[in-house]
Structure formats: structure tokens, C-alpha cells
Chains A and B, each alone.
Chain A
């Protein structure tokens, strides 16, 4: 088993229209699709965690040298499409399965029920085995 982080950002794939300009039916279908997928992953025991974040205009960037007061920058930020919108953390048998789940997230229905083809980034989470490899070489 290995954990993978499946990252959703603000790149809507084939869809550029903000969600509040979709029809209510399309929004419901979109949300229900996510809900059903979440339930499927809960039932299979593969879903570790899933979160959606508040919008990037509420984000803050903090830098500090550990001495002076931290510098806090408020959004909005220029490259907001690349910011994290939400994620699923899954615990799966193989990378192939992680990709399979990412594909299901990517084809979430957009306006008119057309799959959005939203880009999902798949990142494996480091686990104890990674550190064993490192230390065995020392």
C-alpha cells in the first residue's frame, strides 16, 4: 500500500465558466458526482482524507526570518490557477489505482454534463520505505 495525494487546483480543464454561472442542475450533478466518488472511496477503505479549501482571495502568504515580525501578504495572487483548491489523500495498492482514481476526479461533469477533463496532479507521499533506502546506503 502507498499513499498518494491527488491535487485539484483552480484549472478547470475544458471549463472556464465560474460555477455560479452554470445551471443549478449542472451544479447539482457536479457535486453529486464528487459525493458518490467520495462514498465509493470510503467504502473501499482507500480514502484517508479529503478537503476543499476556501478561495484564494482568503489566502495569506507568510515569510519570517524567525527574528523580526513575520511578513504577511494577503491575496489575491497572480497565479491563482495553480493554487491548491482541494485534495484527496488515498491509500492504494498501486500507482495504477491512484491514476485510475485521479481519472475519475478529472472527468467530473461540467456544464451540460460534459466531462471537465480537469488536470489532477498525482504525488506519492513518502513513507518509511523511502527512508530505509536512504539510510541503507549510508
Chain B
């Protein structure tokens, strides 16, 4: 996003929505009015007005009042004779909006869509293209999410303090999913909004609002330290390049430096959470000049902590890979045996088994697992990568570097 007006509008979007929702008490109507105000600004502004936030709130208020009057006229009631009061809003309601959009009662897909629209200031069309679904489908999803929020009948205010920890976890999880969608979805589609960049922008915003929270910082650090590898993750032909084979000179040093600094500050803040641990693992990879150079014992120990903290089978999968690097592929394969049936429908278990059999020098077993993984993934780049891997082994080919 190079357009300063667009940047400003997207930053102000949740603040305007918060102000309108607080004033009118109707989050859904406020959300529609905010989008209309943003659109009006994008079409009418010739440069940036003196008080852009006030302009947007004023415009949104008028749209909301028009809507209310129309509704009431339809119901043959008296027209509400209210002029918008002068706008003086000091409060930044962005955090309140974020908590509401990531409400645990919403499905993940709904929370993601609503967050991108209400907090990210993206249009329904942009979000639809980012997730490669028709605009009507995404419109329905957002509309259902708003109905759900309405049915919660939650007053527009910050959750009570005791609820904060669990509500903040939902927010962090949603931002993490947005980042992953952008990262795993890969590039290539010029029309796609860069979801990873958007997730990083929202995480930065959240950190500015909650500077003392270690997990908020941990999530931002994890995103930065992961995104730093993006230029090396796909080769010129568009094929995925695994970490071990990436050209590390192409990693983005400024992101690594920033991510490491954010992480160090988070660790100094005290209590360690899952995002900080994942960021610490990412930092160890980013710091190493090669796979051989990587501090695998430290990574293995961090995955051990993370597994105890989260009981997530994907973490166990990664721990098995780290164990293979420390104690040999047989140990990794032994750990994987405990995961059978815990990752239904996922191609990852087969992909990792293929990798570890390849490290162990068993080309036939490796190729079989790569083939099974290729058949189970719905991602074209991954299918291509896994099929290639199997084909190289079947052709009597190489064993991965670093073994």
C-alpha cells in the first residue's frame, strides 16, 4: 500500500467504527456506515482534510441517521429530529472493535472476515479475492458474522478485566490465521491483498495499544521473523523451497533485526507464552547460516516446552523433525508413530515421514509417503513440490542436502 490516503483511511477505519458503535449502540449499522464513509472519502477527498477522523465520523453519523430516519419513516413513526453533535472523540476504540470481531462465539472464518473488514478497513471484494472466493460468498459470510455479533447482544464496550486473557487469545489466534493464510497461500496472484502484510500491520497496531503484553509482542515477532524468509521461499519457477535449501542471503535482514528486538523485549516482560516460543524458534533458524549451523538442540528443547503448553499435534510433528536433526531420523520416525490418527485429513504427517525416510536413506519408503502427501494436499504448489520430491527419489535421485 503506497497510497498515503488509503493507509490513513485503513488506520482510521476501526476508530471511526468504534466511535459510531459507541454513539449509536448498533455495531452492525455502524459497520455499514463506516464502509460508506470510507468510500465517500476515497471518492471525494482531494488531499487529506484537517481532521480526517472527525470528517469520517461526521459522514458516518449522517449516513447512520439517514438510515435510521428511513427505517422510521418506513415504520410511519415520527422522524428523529437529531442533528449530529459536534465530534470530539479522544478515545480510541480500536481495541474494543477488535475484541468484538474476534469474539469466541464466531467461527474462525467469520472472525477473520469481519476483522479484515471492520478493523482492517478492507472492502468485501478485496477480502473475497484474498481468499479466492466469489464476492457474494464473502458478503454472506460477513453478513452472517454481523448477525451473530448482533445476536450476542453484547454492549459495545471493552470486556471486563477477568475476561481479557481469554478474549485476547482469540484476537491473537485470528491475526495468526490471517498471517498464515497469506504466507501459505503464496504469491503469484497480483490481485490478492497481501494478507501477511495486513496481519503484521494489525499486530503492530495491537502492540501499540498493549505495549506490555508479552504474547502480543511474541506474535508480532513471530510474524516478522517468518515473513523475513519470504523472498527465498519460492524459486524463479514458482516452486516451494524448503528451509534447508533456501538461499539465506535473500532473507530480509531488517525484519530479522526488528523481530529479534521485539522478541527480546517480550522475554524481558516476563511470562512466556506459545507465540514467544514459536518466535524464539523462528529466530534460531533466522540466525543460522545453514541447516548444519542451526542450534537444533535448543530448537528441540523449545518445541518440547511448546508441546507441553499447547498439546498441539502440529507442534509434536515439528518436534519430531527437530529430534531427527539432533538424534537422527530413526528417533524422529519413532516420535511420529505416536501421531497416527491425530492429524486426520492432513498431508503433513506423510510429508514429514517422507522427509525423515529420505534422511534415513530409504528412498522407496520416502517416495511412497511423498506420493501419499501429494494426493492429500489441496495446495497446487505443495502438490507440485511433493510430486517432484517423489519423482526425484524414484529416478534414483539425490538425498536432501544437510543429511
Q: CA separation between A27 and B391, bound complex, in Å? A: 8
Find B391's partner among A20, A53, A57 (CB 8 Å cutoff): A20
Chain B's nearest CB lies how many Å from the CB of A127? 17
In the complex, the answer to whether A55 meets B388 with C-beta atoms within 8 Å is no
Interchain Cβ contacts within 8 Å, total number:
45
B85 within 8 A of A: no
In the complex, the answer to whether A21 meets B394 with C-beta atoms within 8 Å is yes
List the one stretch of A28-36, A65-73, A90-98, A113-121 in contact with chain B.
A28-36
In the complex, the answer to whether B237 meets A28 with C-beta atoms within 8 Å is yes
User: Interface centre among B345, B367, B384, by most A CB within 10 Å?
Assistant: B384
Q: CA separation between A112 and B32, bound complex, in Å? A: 57
Encode B224-247 as 1/0 by CB contact (under 8 A) with A: 000000000000011100000000
Known: A20-B370, A20-B374, A57-B375. A28 touches B388 (CB 8 A): yes
Known: A31-B384, A54-B378. A23 touches B395 (CB 8 A): yes
Instruction: Describe A's contact surface by its main secondary structure.
Output: helix
Encode A67-94 as 1/0 by CB contact (under 8 A) with B: 0000000000000000000000000000
Measured CB to CB, the nearest residue on chain B to A21 is B394
A2 within 8 A of B: no
Q: CA separation between A32 and B388, bound complex, in Å? A: 13
The tally of residues in A whose CB lies under 8 Å from a CB in B reads 18
Encode A18-60 as 1/0 by CB contact (under 8 A) with B: 1111111001100110010000000000000000111101100
Q: CA separation between A55 and B387, bound complex, in Å? A: 13
Chain B's nearest CB lies how many Å from the CB of A39? 10
Q: CA separation between A55 and B378, bound complex, in Å? A: 9
Q: CA separation between A36 and B100, bound complex, in Å? A: 43
Q: CA separation between A51 and B276, bound complex, in Å? A: 37
In the complex, the answer to whether B394 meets A52 with C-beta atoms within 8 Å is no
Chain B's nearest CB lies how many Å from the CB of A72? 14
Encode B375-402 as 1/0 by CB contact (under 8 A) with A: 1111010011001101110110100000
Which B residues fall within an 8 A CB radius of A?
237-239, 345, 367, 370-371, 374-378, 380, 383-384, 387-388, 390-392, 394-395, 397
Among all A-B residue pairs, the 10 with the closest Cβ atoms: A55-B375, A20-B390, A20-B371, A20-B391, A24-B391, A21-B394, A24-B388, A31-B384, A19-B387, A20-B387
Which A residues fall within an 8 A CB radius of B?
18-24, 27-28, 31-32, 35, 52-55, 57-58
Given A24-B388, A55-B376, A58-B345, 6 additional A-B pairs, CB 8 A: A18-B371, A19-B391, A20-B370, A24-B397, A32-B237, A57-B375
